[in-house]
Amino acid sequence: MNNQEQLLHDIGIVCFVLTELTLYLDTHPDDRNAMEYFNHYNRMRGQMEREFSQKYYPLNLSLADCSKEWRWGEAPLPWEGACV
């Protein structure tokens, strides 16, 4: 796995953790420890996505900084093997 693939893999793991924490917090809204974990992983996800977007291509439109150039179209399409 190259660096780009590893970073995408790691982002996927953090997103999975956030999804699970969201579901847990839906049923346990007063669990302060879970909220702290959620906030920690949410910050981590944002940092990882910004890092990936700066190095490779934006993962979503909110990360498509067009102050220098338009890079949204640089991402490979799913049928090009990007979602494997």
Question: For 81, which DSSP code?
Answer: T
What does the block give as tokens for 28? 């346990």
Q: Could you tell me the pLDDT band of residue 75, with boundaries at 50, 70 and 90?
A: confident
Q: Give the pLDDT band (50/70/90) at residue 17.
A: very high
For the segment 17-43, the average pLDDT, to the nearest whole number, is 97
DSSP class of 64: -
**Domain assignment of residue 52, given as a range:** 3-80
Q: Count structural domains, the chain.
A: 1
Token pair 């953790």 in the structure block, residue: 17
